[in-house]
């Protein structure tokens, strides 16, 4: 008792003050340092509210207590140290938070005092550290089960018998995860949440202690509802207390397996909504999955053999053709013959029809019941010529696709049916139809869709991992109770009295495991399909990128061709300009050569200078008038040229300056 009280007094040093020193000192110190470093994110002293759900010994009614500060915590725990008092026969301690990423409603001092008083195993801290304040989930992939069994008389501690603690028993801790509805998640209204469980059971006194850490009060409410049932509240014997503990474990196991089905359904629905169009998208003239394709590349879907969008037809019964109106012949049911006057009668047997339309081209054979008038004009040779041309055209459509089926086809005009080495099947589209298809997907898929698919895939991967971790924890839990009950120092009274409950516990946990295995297999299937469709969508996006690049390359080639044409034209213009420049130089040379003589001749032809009758007459006034007019005009002409030259030069400099600034910005 003395060492226990000293440990409680030194609660701030938890877990270094833990009495059963079964852990290495450096491990305990590491727990202590990590707990101190995380206390600001892990605990919220201002909103402290620790809920106790206790069952007194000999009573069948649980009572609740809420502790809000350290003093209240000490007062509540000291009640067991009073005379004629002890720890409750069963105690549940709930550490909650406003939500899954908020700090726990407990102070660091209250937490350490509580764990020191109940001597909670330090390894439970591993399952507490993932809680606390965080923007994004941290350490969410840590899971497991820790246990410590101390069975047998050598582990008994009579000093704490007053508190109902014999020292012989076992303790375990584990964490589980489940998916719960979340209104904060708009795109996917689910959130994977965790719960950490610590359980201590004394096999001699049947004292049970539970510590449950959860981001909300869901588990707390369920346990309170379950323990208020008469069967669960009655723990007058050790077997009943042990059975009640198994029921609480089952409640946690059931919680870990619920809602996963609906969560995966939502993931799959969103996945299908995003990618359903991917597998039906047709690129170019490639058939979609809804239209099976033969090895020749044409559709194998069943359809009518007659394709009737026909520019012409050859009918042995109706004889409709572009040569005659469709209704110009009455029907008959007898075989076709040629009458002496050259008129034809057609048998009411079959129609061989050919078509080529914008939607496709088809060749087919169709029974028909219309005849031909024996008295109507009918040019059989013209019909044969048209049919021969049509068959040639159809062969040209099919041969480029490598069908190898164009040969050996001919039309038997006696039997009115096509004959060949093999049956006629659905035909390929003609080349002009193939070229008209743009090849763009009918639905627009973007990189944003790829990001959404990646988000769903990551959620599915997280689900797959969490399901696997839950399965391992449940297996460890079953194995733990199997090992404990098979221990030679385990009380025979408990083993025999709880044999049915242990068997039921094992079956129920195993059932949850099977459900989780099924859900894990379903998630793996979803992951495989997500990966395949993501690759397909990647292919579609790459195909579209290639098509876009091809379009740009085509336009660039067209631009280059245009520039090449312009360059050739400019070259021709340059050659012509060169020729014209040479001509202008010749003209300038000739002009300069004759200009002085022309000027002198013009000047001498005026009245300023006259040579008449061997007499020279020079008019000085006329010369002055001439120079007064000519010289200013010459100066004005040169001045106008200079102004125009300066303006043009300045405009060119401004353009070069603006271009230089623009290039510098780029």
Is the pLDDT at 520 greater than 90? The verdict is yes
Please report the pLDDT score of residue 233 as a whole number: 66
Verify that 40 and 187 share a domain, yes or no: yes
Please report the pLDDT score of residue 610 as a whole number: 66
How much of the chain is in helix, strand and coil states, percent to nearest 5? Answer: 50, 15, 35
* 575-597 mean pLDDT: 84
Please report the pLDDT score of residue 467 as a whole number: 97
Is the pLDDT at 411 greater than 60? The verdict is no
* 359-386 mean pLDDT: 48
Q: Which residue, 436, 470, 486, sits at the end of a domain?
A: 436
Please report the pLDDT score of residue 592 as a whole number: 74
Verify that 246 and 342 share a domain, yes or no: no
* 569-583 mean pLDDT: 90
Higher local confidence (pLDDT), 459 or 394: 459
Give this prediction's pTM: 0.64
Please report the pLDDT score of residue 44 as a whole number: 93
Please report the pLDDT score of residue 431 as a whole number: 38
Task: Quote the domain boundaries for residue 612.
Answer: 606-666
Please report the pLDDT score of residue 664 as a whole number: 56
**79: pLDDT confidence band, cut at 50, 70 and 90?**
confident
- Helices (H) and strands (E) in the chain — how many of each? 16, 14
Is the pLDDT at 416 greater than 60? The verdict is no
The answer to whether residue 298 sits within a structural domain is: no
The answer to whether residue 363 sits within a structural domain is: yes
Verify that 160 and 226 share a domain, yes or no: yes
Per-residue pLDDT tens over the stretch 546-555: 888 999 999 9
Please report the pLDDT score of residue 317 as a whole number: 39
Please report the pLDDT score of residue 364 as a whole number: 41
Q: Which residue, 409, 436, 463, sits at the end of a domain?
A: 436
> Is 509 in contact with 477 (CB distance < 8 Å)?
yes
Verify that 26 and 140 share a domain, yes or no: yes
Verify that 251 and 115 share a domain, yes or no: yes
Is the pLDDT at 318 greater than 80? The verdict is no
Average confidence score pLDDT of the chain:
77
Of 101-110, 155-164, 495-504, minimum mean pLDDT range? 155-164
Please report the pLDDT score of residue 83 as a whole number: 78
Per-residue pLDDT tens over the stretch 4-58: 888 899 999 999 988 876 778 899 999 999 999 999 999 999 999 999 999 988 8
**170: pLDDT confidence band, cut at 50, 70 and 90?**
very high
Angle at 19 between CA 211 and CA 155, to 5 degrees: 90
Is the pLDDT at 465 greater than 60? The verdict is yes
d(CA 393, CA 406): 10
Please report the pLDDT score of residue 391 as a whole number: 59
Higher local confidence (pLDDT), 75 or 399: 75
Verify that 95 and 225 share a domain, yes or no: yes
Verify that 327 and 246 share a domain, yes or no: no
Verify that 94 and 236 share a domain, yes or no: yes
Q: According to the per-residue pLDDT averaged within each range, which of 207-211, 297-301, 419-423 is highest?
A: 207-211
Please report the pLDDT score of residue 285 as a whole number: 52
Is the pLDDT at 320 greater than 50? The verdict is no
The answer to whether residue 27 sits within a structural domain is: yes
Is the pLDDT at 300 greater than 50? The verdict is no
The answer to whether residue 28 sits within a structural domain is: yes
Instruction: Report the 3 state secondary structure along 515-549.
Output: HHHHHHHHHHHHHHHHHHHHHHHHHHHHHHHHHHH
d(CA 221, CA 96): 12
Structure tokens given for 594: 């004759």
Q: Which residue has the tokens 């009579």?
A: 158
The answer to whether residue 419 sits within a structural domain is: yes
Strands (E), 74-150: 90-95, 145-150
Domain total for the chain?
A: 3
**193: pLDDT confidence band, cut at 50, 70 and 90?**
very high
* 203-219 mean pLDDT: 93
Please report the pLDDT score of residue 144 as a whole number: 95
Is the pLDDT at 428 greater than 70? The verdict is no
3-class secondary-structure state, position 315 = strand
Strands (E), 152-207: 169-181, 190-202
Verify that 164 and 229 share a domain, yes or no: yes
Q: Which residue, 397, 417, 436, sits at the end of a domain?
A: 436
Is the pLDDT at 424 greater than 50? The verdict is no
The answer to whether residue 596 sits within a structural domain is: no
d(CA 571, CA 519): 76
The answer to whether residue 595 sits within a structural domain is: no
Structure tokens given for 96: 């909650």
Verify that 215 and 76 share a domain, yes or no: yes
The separation between CA 313 and the C-alpha centre of its own chain, rounded to angstroms, equals 52
The answer to whether residue 48 sits within a structural domain is: yes
Verify that 136 and 253 share a domain, yes or no: yes
Is the pLDDT at 117 greater than 60? The verdict is yes
Per-residue pLDDT tens over the stretch 485-494: 999 889 888 8
The CATH number of the domain holding residue 101 is: 3.30.460.20
Verify that 343 and 413 share a domain, yes or no: yes
Structure tokens given for 152: 């047998």
């Amino acid at each position: 008792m003395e060492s226990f009280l000293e440990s409680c007094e030194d609660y701030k040093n938890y877990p270094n003050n833990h009495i059963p020193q079964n852990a290495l000192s450096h491990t305990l110190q590491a727990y202590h340092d990590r707990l101190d470093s995380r206390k600001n994110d892990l605990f919220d002293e201002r909103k402290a509210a620790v809920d106790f759900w206790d069952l007194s010994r000999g009573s069948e009614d649980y009572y609740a207590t809420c502790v809000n500060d350290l003093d209240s915590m000490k007062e509540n725990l000291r009640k067991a140290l009073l005379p004629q008092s002890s720890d409750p026969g069963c105690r549940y301690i709930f550490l909650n938070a406003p939500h899954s990423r908020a700090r726990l409603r407990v102070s660091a001092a209250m937490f350490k005092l509580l764990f020191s008083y109940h001597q909670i195993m330090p390894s439970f801290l591993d399952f507490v550290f993932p809680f606390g304040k965080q923007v994004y989930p941290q350490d969410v992939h840590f899971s497991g089960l820790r246990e410590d069994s101390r069975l047998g008389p050598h582990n008994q501690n009579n000093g704490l018998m007053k508190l109902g603690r014999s020292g012989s028993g076992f303790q375990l801790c584990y964490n589980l995860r489940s998916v719960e509805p979340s209104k904060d998640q708009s795109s996917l209204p689910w959130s994977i949440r965790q719960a950490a469980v610590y359980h201590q059971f004394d096999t001699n006194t049947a004292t049970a202690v539970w510590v449950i850490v959860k981001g909300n009060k869901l588990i707390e409410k369920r346990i309170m509802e379950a323990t208020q049932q008469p069967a669960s509240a009655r723990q007058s014997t050790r077997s009943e207390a042990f059975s009640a503990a198994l029921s609480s474990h089952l409640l946690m196991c059931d919680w870990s397996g619920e809602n996963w089905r609906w969560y995966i359904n939502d993931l799959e629905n969103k996945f299908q909504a995003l990618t359903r169009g991917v597998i039906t998208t047709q690129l170019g003239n490639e058939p979609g999955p809804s239209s099976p394709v033969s090895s020749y590349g044409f559709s194998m879907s069943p359809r009518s053999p007659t394709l009737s969008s026909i520019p012409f037809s050859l009918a042995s019964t109706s004889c409709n053709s572009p040569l005659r109106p469709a209704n110009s012949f009455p029907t008959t049911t007898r075989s076709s013959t040629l009458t002496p006057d050259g008129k034809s009668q057609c048998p009411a047997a079959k129609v061989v029809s050919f078509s080529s339309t914008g939607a496709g081209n088809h060749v087919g054979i169709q029974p028909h019941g219309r005849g031909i008038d024996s008295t109507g004009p009918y040019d059989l040779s013209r019909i044969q010529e048209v049919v021969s041309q049509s068959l040639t055209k159809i062969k040209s459509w099919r041969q480029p696709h490598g069908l190898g089926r164009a040969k050996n086809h001919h039309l038997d005009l006696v039997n009115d049916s096509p004959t060949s080495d093999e049956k006629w099947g659905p035909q390929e589209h003609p080349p002009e139809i193939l070229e008209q298809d743009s090849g763009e997907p009918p639905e627009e898929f973007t990189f944003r869709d790829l990001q959404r698919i990646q988000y769903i895939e990551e959620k599915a991967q997280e689900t797959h991992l969490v399901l696997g971790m839950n399965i391992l924890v449940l297996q460890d839990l079953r194995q733990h109770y199997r090992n404990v009950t098979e221990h030679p120092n385990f009380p025979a009274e408990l083993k025999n009295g709880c044999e049915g409950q242990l068997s039921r516990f094992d079956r129920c946990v195993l059932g949850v495991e099977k459900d989780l295995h099924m859900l894990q297999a379903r998630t793996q299937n979803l992951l495989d399909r997500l990966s395949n469709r993501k690759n397909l969508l990647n292919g579609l996006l790459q195909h579209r990128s290639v098509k876009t690049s091809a379009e740009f390359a085509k336009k660039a080639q067209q631009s280059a061709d245009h520039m090449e044409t312009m360059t050739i034209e400019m070259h021709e213009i340059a050659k012509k300009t060169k020729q014209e420049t040479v001509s202008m130089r010749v003209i300038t040379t000739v002009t300069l050569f004759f200009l002085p003589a022309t000027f002198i001749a013009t000047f001498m032809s005026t009245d300023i200078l006259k040579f008449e009758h061997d007499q020279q007459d020079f008019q000085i006034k006329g010369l002055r008038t001439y120079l007064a007019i000519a010289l200013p005009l010459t100066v004005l002409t040169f001045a106008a040229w200079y102004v125009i030259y300066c303006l043009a030069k300045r405009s060119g400099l401004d353009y070069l300056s603006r271009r230089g600034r623009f290039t510098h910005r780029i």
